[in-house]
Structure 1
Amino acid sequence: MNDTICAPSTPPVHSSIAVIRISGADTLRALNSIFHSRVDIKPRYALYRSIIHEGDPVDDVIVIFYRSPRSYTGEDMAEIFCHGNPMIVQKIMILLHGLGIRMAQPGEFTRRAFMNGKLDLTEAEAINHIVRARSEWEIQTSLKQMHGSLKQAIHRIRTRVIEFRADIEAGIDFSEEEIDVLPQEQALQAAGDIHELIADLLARCRTGGQLSQGIDVAIVGRPNVGKSSILNLLLNQERAIVSSIPGTTRDIIREPFQVNGMHVNLNDTAGIDTPGDEIESIGISLSLQKIESSPFIILVLDATGGLRAADLSILDKIRNKKKIILINKVDIAAPDEIDRLRGEIREKTTLFSAKTGEGLNDLKDAISKLIKNEFIEIDNSFIANVRIVDLLEQSVRNIAAVGELIARQEPNEIIAFELQSLLDSLSEITGEITPEDILDSIFSRFCIGK
């Protein structure tokens, strides 16, 4: 990290403003060179300057210089705000390269911030989550993690483990005197308490991981009950073809959707009934597979004509599923028809009209409630990638092994060794001990200029 790097932080498109970042020991030298200025550039002030090359103007810009260590990366750093023309950005980048400032790798600014102790690995990964978030919940949760919420949770557990290990090692020091520093019962209780803390954190990370990937919701029903119309209404766009001809939808249409700040994947499926041809049969097979794989179901029923055999068959298939039973076409059904249908179903239903939009807010609220009832810890969950989940799973195995060693009255040296393995797993989550190749993998997923 002895060299100085630069990169655009904004996309290469025509826009009002573009941003170029510079970080490293030669930052100030580079600024003075492109501005042809020897006037001190005051840190943390927005300064108006002209970039000149061989007597010709390149652009008039705003520059902010940050003196180490009071910068994002912890190094001398600058941000140049120029006009958002890709050709201007390219000219400035060429000037910087000519001064020996190299192009940054993806995520290299954040990696330098991590290496310089400005943030830990969970906070660094949270920055990437913010950039790639697809829902309001993801943004808010990632912001909390950027400010240290996951780091603090890990550190609380590490503190308990360190204290526990100290008690175990005290038993090693006094082993010859046969002093029982930590009785077996207390040791088992301590191991159990730590196991509970890690298992709880793992569950909340798994919940956050599922929510950030998007929760699958399948819209199912027999043909022509209005599934595609409901999808279009929820999305507020004509995404699926709507036709009075049965079997129009042959494949699964999957679209992202936000409901009360949560990311949902809506799946419009082919109508389930007796197939009319081979292609329709394939579509029905895919619909049945989607019912099996989706944690949440919206079953659409036609308010006119009562329950049919296909409806009953689908109801039976989703009997044990988390579901919303939506009665569509209430705008053209007689009240007694609706009451009769509800009586046949004998489950909670939501009334809806894809034509008028009646019940749309009720449907959105029902989807939100369905998900929140399943994920009770939604507001206390963390967005965790596979790396973090794997390390927490390893931590659970470590502390479980500690409990088994204590129960078998194994020597304290062996128990202390297993506790150190647990501490290593927890430390790897925050990046206190992380192999170089793991860091390469993490930061390579970032945008260039971040």
Structure 2
Amino acid sequence: MGFLVFREIKALLFMTLRSFKLCEINRGIVSASDVEFEEGSESELLQKQVKSDEEAFELYNEYAFKFSFGVRKGKTRCRVKDGSICMRQMVCWRTGFKNVNNVGHKSYSKVDYRTGCRAYVQFHVDEDDVYTLVAHVMGHNHAMVPLHKRHYIRSHRLVRSEQLAFISNLKRSGIPVADVIRVMRKEVGGSPNLGFIASDAYNALAGEKVKSIDFSDSNQLIKFFTQSWIIVGIWNNHHTNNIMFGCAFLLNEKTDSFVWLFDSFVRSMGGKKPITMITDQCAAMGATLKVVLPSVNHRLCTWHIGKNSKKNIPDLRAQDDIVDVFNTVLKYSDTIAEFEFYWQRDFEKLFDAIQCPYNRKVAIAAYYLKEEADFRWSQHKETLMTRYDFDWKAFGGDMKKKFYPNFLRRQKATEFDELKQGDMTVDQYYKNL
């Protein structure tokens, strides 16, 4: 028991002294360039050449193994003209410091081995991708790892392809991985000669397993979703609750696709056709409905119209009361005549609010024409616009004459006069007041 306590105290003192040392380095009390170990007086690597980034790493890593330190890949510099690498550094594994300022609370912490070491090698890379070692700093500000522990350094651990194949074959034969590693250690004369530790073997096996899974089904499904149009059929019951009748995936929004969609839907409903269908402003879908379901009342979704208005007229919607005017015209007109009447009346208020120039009123208002009114305007636009007296007033008069003629106005007035509540008409109520 006393031995265990002594060992814990010793470990705590070691970590305290080490943390104090790192703090001194960070504050500048101890210079990170203080040399504690020198690799030698002259470099044996200068002017050596290799042909790739991997070979450059292996060159410095094999050299570092002799002195019991690890290496990491460092900075690169690229050419401006083509972006190819012109300089590459390989650095000591204890180069730099961990960024501890942005690290949140963790339930565990890893040992920080970095001490700000300045040892590195630098390669010049010519345009033929030949790496030439041109600089070598050999001074370290830390002690080297003991020889009997250097095989634990991360850069010197690697599960080679033939070793991984051997482990995989024995594992498939029913032999546990731990037993396989134990046999391999004995064959090579111990852990220092094996070249990796147990966790490296398990990680390599997991990596091979991931590579063997091609994810064909899920990838095809994701690809199909990203390249498809999702059509969801939702209807309202007599309680105004939404009911989803079906869902379809279309490769495109062409007329042929919608013909198949609506034919399939009608067959799935036992041949019974819907009375009204509400869609977005898809021209192909609207054209298909006229052919496949000519008796259906086709209406546009007010939500989509409102969404498009946010995209197409953001400046107008930013004006005071514009949204209320827009929603009134959009949502509370039951007939074409009502829509055209309120449309013109509210647009007059709208133009006054935003101080729209008189010569711009026709162009702005025509943008909001829908269905039959839009079709008529596109057919007669050129003829009407050539008239010298055609202006906003003439535009409104033309629309009113077509969609709210005198006979319809008289008809609506008669309907209003004949409205009754109990036994009294509107006129009788007015006279009694």
Q: Which TM-score band (shorter chain)?
A: under 0.3
TM-score, normalised relative to structure 1 = 0.20
The structure whose RCO (Cα within 8 Å, separation 6+) is larger is 1
TM-score, normalised relative to structure 2 = 0.21
Quick check: which has more Rg, 1 or 2? 2
